[in-house]
Amino acid sequence: MGNSSIVEAASNYNIPDVVNKGLAYAILFAGLLSVIFIIIGGFSFILSGGSEDKIKQAVGTIRYAIIGLIITILSVVIVQAVGQFIGLNVVKYLDLGDIFRNVQNLGENFRGSGGGNGSVSLD
């Protein structure tokens, strides 16, 4: 891939699209990590064997995973609000609706890329 193809590929995107897609990937990644840590916390809770310290640690893992996900999603809203408050035109780069549409499309693409339609053939 030569330099001209990179420039042509880069010229197909504008800054707001790149920022919104980047944030969509970050939110999706944070969501996946949160789900993974919630599952890990759930297993830790189940396998705690009644030990109060292990239960506290498992509940803490679940709590912080949920808090992290909420903060990740709210960070986009907070950046927009602060940008408007101090007079920066952040809105042209951050479109909350576009970000969530990108997250939804990425999620659908991820689920759809599993190969096959979920049915089992007994031929």
How much is the pLDDT for 71?
87
Q: Between 52-85 and 15-46, two packed helices, what is the crossing angle to 10 degrees?
A: 160
Match 């979920």 to its residue by tokens. 118
Q: Which parts of the chain register pLDDT below 50?
A: 116-123
- Is-contact 63 84, C-beta < 8 A? no
- As a whole number of angstroms, the distance between CA 110 and CA 95 comes to 22
What pLDDT, on the 0 to 100 scale, is given for residue 59?
Answer: 93
CA angle, 71 then 114 then 69, to 5°: 5
51-63 tens-digit pLDDT: 999 999 999 999 9
